[in-house]
Amino acid sequence: MKKFRRSLFILSTALSVVLILRAGSAQSTAAERPIVGDWEGTLNPGAQPKKRIVVHIAVAQDGTLSGTIDYPDDDSSGIPITAITSKRGALHFESETSMVVYEGNMSQDKSGISGTWKQGGKALDLTLKRTP
At 22 the pLDDT is: 46
Contacts of 83 (CB under 8 A, 6+ apart): 92, 93, 94
Q: Cα 39–45–50 angle (5° rounding)?
A: 60
Do 2 and 10 form a contact (C-beta atoms < 8 A)?
A: no
Q: How far apart are CA 16 and CA 34, in angstroms?
A: 29
At 42 the pLDDT is: 97
Do 66 and 56 form a contact (C-beta atoms < 8 A)?
A: no
Give just the sign of the alpha carbon dihedral 112, 104, 47, 69. negative
- Residues of the chain scoring pLDDT < 50: 4, 8-9, 11, 13-31
Determine how β-strand 112-119 pairs with β-strand 65-71.
Answer: unpaired
C-alpha torsion 120→131→29→17, nearest 10: -140
* Global confidence as pTM: 0.74
> Domain 35-131, CATH 2.40.128.120 — does that match?
yes
